Amino acid sequence: MEVDSVTVTLDDKQQPGVESRDGMKAQVPAGQPDTKAKDAKPVPERKRSRNLSEDRRFKLFSGTANRPLAEEIGRHIGVPVGEVKLQRFADGEVYFQLLENVRGVDVFVVQPTCYPVDQNLVELLVIIDALKRASAARITVVVPYYGYARQDRKDRPRVAISAKLIADLLTTAGANRALFVDLHAAQIQGFFNIPVDHLFASPVLVSYFKELKLPNLIVVSPDAGGVERARFFAQKMQAPLAIVDKRRTDLNVAEVMNVVGDVAGKTCLIIDDIIDTAGTLVKTVDALYAAGAASVYACASHAIFSGPAIDRIANSRLEQVVVTNTVPLREAAQKLAKIKVLSVAGLLGAAIESIHMETSVSTLFN
């Protein structure tokens, strides 16, 4: 993605009292206007190379959580994934060594904190520490899926706010910037004391469903917390919105109550950020069909697919489940014809380019 960026700097003509390159101060006679300052023209600052493959101040690295995604991002931006040595001791302890010089380099590390969550998280922290000690100029963590994001507040007595804890760990390890895709709650950005770029997978998903041209479409939020996400999607699809009211009785257990909105005879598209055990999803599907829906599709940014998720989707009345590759799919999920995977590598690659070139990433929201 090519975006122009020009930084305004002063010409060789100096402002009054400002030291010039020869060490002398430029003076303006009293009572006379500083015409030189007024006539000074902005000149473009020397910028980084437009071709990242030629930019020695840029490197891309990856952990083991989703190496295929990192390699696909590398192909989009024309930069290979950096060489590292990553091994584990017999007790599972991670060993990491950079095999390339990163001194003074703008470094991006791709590592979702998906299953096994704790192992991938510690691996990311060790990678950040190694980059910091190798004198990288800036370390940006690219976390397509942010684990522990669902624990973002005290909803019960004596519970941890783990989303904040993970933010502190990443920052303390040495991350200077973070890039995420579809955080479970947008306010998690406020847990960080470093710049955060929050991308949405919806442009990729919207493009796919627009091509399908589903008849009589209505977008459905599976709970009240996802209404904002579903409303944005509905606006892009120019479709009405419905909401499923649910009551969660325990962790990973939800009881669907009723459907708010008219879905009778319509094609329903359920929008969510995460599909974990798929318990909420299949109960939402049953509620929509009970309300008279003609057919039901689903899409989500993060395909966690824990435990019985694949069996539940396979045995459900869902027409299709569309997800992205923010996390690697289990082998069983790859074999299921109902599941369609879209890539966010282009989206992440464009964001990485914009961050490195110091240009706006807001165009990616469209």
pLDDT in tens, the chain (366 residues): 433 433 333 333 344 444 443 444 444 444 454 544 445 454 344 345 567 777 889 999 999 999 999 999 999 999 999 999 999 999 999 999 999 999 999 999 999 999 999 999 999 999 999 999 999 999 999 999 999 999 999 988 999 999 999 999 999 999 999 999 999 998 999 999 999 999 999 999 999 999 999 999 999 999 888 899 999 999 999 999 999 987 766 666 656 568 999 999 999 999 999 999 999 899 999 999 999 999 999 999 999 999 999 999 999 999 999 999 999 999 999 999 999 999 999 999 999 999 999 998 887 776
Cα gap 334→339, rounded to integer Å = 7
* pLDDT value of residue 35: 47
Burial grade of 142 (CB within 10 A; 0-12, 13-18, 19 or more)? buried
Cα gap 285→85, rounded to integer Å = 46
Residues in Cβ contact with 8 at an 8 Å cutoff, skipping those fewer than 6 apart: 42
Catalytic positions are 246
Helix, strand or coil, per DSSP, at residue 275:
strand
* pLDDT value of residue 223: 86
* pLDDT value of residue 20: 41
Cα–Cα nearest to 353, from 99, 69, 142 = 142
